[in-house]
């Protein structure tokens, strides 16, 4: 996609589609944020231009009746209704945008409410992602997830050397995140979530691979972690079980 296309057309992360409309709708979260930002920006810009023109002053001009004077507050020209309006209106707008943003956040934070099919330990380091052996919740040999025979993307020569993981389509996957050096952040853009990976502290996140189309996705580090931070990515393949 071109830069111009990316600036004009906003795409919500997949899980956001159930919160405030789909990525293509004007009631989607990203669109609402963008549209209200444009409206507020235009109102502020128009008001600033009006003030610049209305209160312009050059040498020799008489003082404007509303000009500011040191130590004098113009109580006689105060307007309580305007004061209340421009206090309440931004409060309502910010409250609304906060409310619609909490939907997907609450959904992603409800880890305990999502029973895992597979649990994977993820280790972050400078500058790689390491994925442990998936653990299956179902009773089987040692609880180890039995990899389907058609799962071979991470064994190919083209596999990402900084990290590669293949998971089945239609599974709820829990990630247990740890760092072996500095602060990192597990960022899955299509999922619409970023989870910090903190040294000496296990953090959690999850995904339902059934919400995605089968294919290749990327994970990035979203917390600056050193000179090769921008190269710290990993591939996740969501594959239909043969």
pLDDT band at residue 53 under the 50/70/90 scheme = confident
Task: Give the burial class of 2: count Cβ atoms within 10 A of its Cβ; 0-12 exposed, 13-18 middle, 19 or more buried.
Answer: exposed
Q: Which domains does the chain have, with CATH numbers?
A: 3-60+76-109 (1.10.287.90), 118-239 (2.60.40.420)
What's the token pair of residue 101? 């943003």
DSSP-assigned states of every residue in 7-33: HH-----GGGGGSSS-TTSTTSHHHHH
Produce one character per residue of 101-131: b if its CB has 16 or more CB atoms within 10 Å, e if not: beebeebbeeeeeeebbbbbbbbbbbbbbeb
pLDDT score at 224: 94
- What is the distance between the alpha carbons of residues 237 and 239, in angstroms, rounded to a whole number? 6
How many helices (DSSP H) and strands (DSSP E) are in the chain?
3, 10
| Digit-coded pLDDT (tens) for 5-26 | 555 555 556 655 555 544 444 5
**Residue 12 and residue 33 in contact, taking contact as beta carbons nearer than 8 Å:** no
pLDDT of 3 over the 60 cut? no
| Digit-coded pLDDT (tens) for 84-124 | 988 998 899 888 888 777 777 777 777 777 788 888 999 99
pLDDT score at 91: 92
pLDDT score at 232: 92
Q: When comparing pLDDT for 146 and 151, which is higher?
A: 151
Lowest mean pLDDT among 76-90, 165-179, 222-236: 76-90
Q: When comparing pLDDT for 32 and 38, which is higher?
A: 38
User: Does the pTM of the predicted model rise above 0.75?
Assistant: no
What's the token pair of residue 74? 């113009």
Percent of the chain clearing pLDDT 70 (strictly above): 78
pLDDT of 129 over the 90 cut? yes
Euclidean distance between the first and the last CA atom of the chain, given in angstroms as a whole number? 32
Can you tell me whether residue 4 is helix, strand or coil? helix
């Amino acid at each position: 996609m071109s830069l111009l296309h990316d600036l004009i057309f906003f795409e919500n992360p997949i899980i956001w589609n159930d919160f405030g409309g789909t990525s293509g709708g004007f009631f989607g979260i990203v669109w609402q944020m963008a549209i209200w930002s444009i409206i507020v920006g235009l109102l502020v810009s128009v008001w600033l231009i009006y003030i610049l023109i209305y209160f312009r002053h050059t040498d020799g001009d008489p003082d404007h009746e509303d000009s500011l004077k040191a130590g004098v507050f113009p109580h006689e020209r105060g307007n309580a209704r305007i004061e209340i309006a421009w206090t309440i209106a931004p409060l309502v707008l910010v409250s609304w945008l906060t409310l619609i943003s909490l939907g997907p956040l609450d959904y992603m934070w409800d880890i305990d409410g999502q029973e895992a099919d597979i649990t994977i330990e993820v280790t972050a380091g400078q500058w790689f992602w390491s994925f442990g052996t998936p653990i299956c919740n179902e009773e089987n040999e040692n609880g180890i997830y039995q990899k389907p025979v058609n799962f071979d993307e991470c064994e190919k020569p083209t596999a990402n050397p900084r990290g590669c993981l293949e998971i089945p389509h239609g599974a709820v996957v829990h990630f247990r995140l740890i760092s072996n050096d500095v602060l990192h952040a597990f960022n899955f853009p299509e999922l619409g979530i970023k989870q910090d990976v903190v040294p000496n502290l296990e953090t959690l996140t999850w995904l339902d691979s059934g919400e995605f189309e089968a294919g290749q996705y990327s994970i990035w580090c979203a917390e600056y972690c050193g000179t090769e931070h921008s190269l710290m990515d990993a591939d996740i393949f969501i594959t239909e079980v043969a």
